[in-house]
Amino acid sequence: MLNVCKELLDQFEKQNILYCHWKGNDHVYKGLNGIGDIDILVSIQMKEKCSVLLRSINFVHVITQKEQRSENIEDWIGLDLPSGKLVHLHLHYELKIGHKYVNEYNLPFNDLSLKLREYDSVHNIYVQNPCIELLILYSRIVLEKSKDERSKNKYQASFSFLINRISYGDFVSILKEAGIEKGAQEEFLNVLSHKSLERINFEKVEREVKKIIIKNTNFAQLKYYIWKYRITIRKIQMRYNNNSTTITKKLLPARGFIWILDDNDTVNQVKEWLNWKIEVKIIDIKLGNRNPKRLINDLEKYLNLGGIALIDNSPDCDLMITNLKENIPDIFQEKENPSNLLIVKTVIWKTINSREKVQLDSKIAIR
C-alpha cells in the first residue's frame, strides 16, 4: 500500500469517518498502489468533513467533464511523495450504477453497506460485505451492459471472488435485510449454484433488480438520453475545436498554469505522469510553428478551463517564452535540480495544492 493511501485510511479511522471500499474488492490492492481507482463509500452526512480531511493530506478535488459528472460522486487525486505516484480516489456518497459516466440508477444499500462492512486484514482496509457486493455486482451486470457483454472476463473474476466467500445462509440473511421480497430471493439465491456467469438466467434477475431500483430512482431513462445528447454535441464541438483547447481528462479546480521544463524527456515524463487522470498538454511554441497572438489566446482559454500546459525550454524558444511571460501571469519554472523527476513532480503538486487553496480562500472571503 502506498504511504498516501495508508495516511488516508488512518485519518478516516482517527476522525471516525465510516467508510468501505464498495466494489471491485477482488483487485482493491491495485487502487491502493496507484494502479487503478479506489472506490470508497462514505455517508453523505460526512461530505464536508471528508473534504477538509482530504485537503489536509494534500488531495485535490479535480473537476470531471460535464458529460461525465454524477451527483454525489467526487474525484480526488493525491500524490504519494516517496514514489511520485498519483492516487485516484472515487468518493461515493451514494451507491449509483448504470451506464458508464451516467450512473442513472440509485441503489438503496448505502446504510446497510456501511453497517455490515468487513475489515480486510490483508490490505488493511474496510471493504463491502461480500453478499451485498454480489447483489450489487448482479445489479451492475444487468443494468450497465447489454446481454452479449455480460459474461466478459472482468465480471467473471469478480463473480468468482465473491461466491467463494459467501455461504447460502449469509446470503439469505442479507437478502432479507436488504428488503428483497421472498419470491425474488430465489432468483438471487440461484446465483450461488453457478460458477460461471454464462449459465445464469439474467432475464429473471433483471426483473427483480428493476423492482429494487424503481423505488429509489427518478427519471433514469431521461438522464441517459440527456447524456447521449450532450455527448453528441460534444463530439460535434471537438471536430471544430483546435487541439489546443480540446479537453480529454479531469480539470484542476483552479485556473491552470504553464510549467517550463528544461528538456524534452522530462516534459514527456511529466505529461505521462499527470495525464493518467489530469488534463495536460505539451505546447509547441517554436516561432516557426505558431502565431504568437493565436498561441496566447489558445493558452488563455485552456488555462481558464483548468488545464496544465507543459513547455520545453529549448534555446530556439527563448523569444516566445519571454513573450508568454509578458502576457500570461501563470508561468512557472523550477530551477532547483530540474533533472530529478521526483522533485519536479513534488514541486508541481505543491503548486496545484497552493492554487486550489488560494481559490478556496477567495470563495470563503466572498461569502
CATH assignment at residue 273: 3.40.50
Which residues touch 108 (CB under 8 Å, ≥6 apart)? Answer: 95, 178, 179, 212, 215, 216
Q: What is the pTM of this model?
A: 0.87
Domain span at residue 278 reads: 248-366
Kindly state whether residues 155 and 303 are assigned to the same domain. Answer: no
Kindly state whether residues 203 and 271 are assigned to the same domain. Answer: no
Mean pLDDT, consecutive 10-residue stretches, the chain (367 aa), reads 96 95 94 94 94 94 82 93 95 87 84 95 96 89 62 75 90 88 79 75 73 68 73 69 72 92 89 94 74 85 92 79 86 71 91 85 51
The pLDDT of residue 81:
93
Kindly state whether residues 194 and 265 are assigned to the same domain. Answer: no
The pLDDT of residue 156:
85
Whether 247 and 305 have beta carbons less than 8 Å apart is answered as yes
Kindly state whether residues 116 and 177 are assigned to the same domain. Answer: yes
Residue 173 located in a structural domain: yes
Residue 228 located in a structural domain: no
- How far is CA 182 from each of CA 172, 177, 187, 215, rounded to the nearest angstrom? 10, 11, 10, 17
Kindly state whether residues 214 and 263 are assigned to the same domain. Answer: no
Kindly state whether residues 172 and 268 are assigned to the same domain. Answer: no
Handedness of CA 54, 55, 58, 62 (dihedral sign): positive
Strand order in the sheet with 19-21: 60-62, 73-80, 85-92, 37-42, 19-21, 125-127, 118-120
Residue 241 located in a structural domain: no
Residue 239 located in a structural domain: no
Q: Which of 312, 313, 307, 326 is nearest to 244 (CA)?
A: 307
How far is the C-alpha of 56 from the C-alpha of 191, rounded, in Å?
44
How far is the C-alpha of 226 from the C-alpha of 67, rounded, in Å?
9
The pLDDT of residue 262:
83
Handedness of CA 137, 142, 144, 145 (dihedral sign): positive
The pLDDT of residue 239:
67
The pLDDT of residue 320:
81
Kindly state whether residues 273 and 211 are assigned to the same domain. Answer: no
Residue 76 sits in a domain whose CATH number is: 3.30.460
Residue 203 located in a structural domain: yes
How far is the C-alpha of 164 from the C-alpha of 74, rounded, in Å?
32
Cell of 14: 482517527
Residue 62 located in a structural domain: yes
How far is the C-alpha of 74 from the C-alpha of 136, rounded, in Å?
20
Total of domains in the chain? 2
How far is the C-alpha of 179 from the C-alpha of 291, rounded, in Å?
64
Whether 60 and 356 have beta carbons less than 8 Å apart is answered as yes
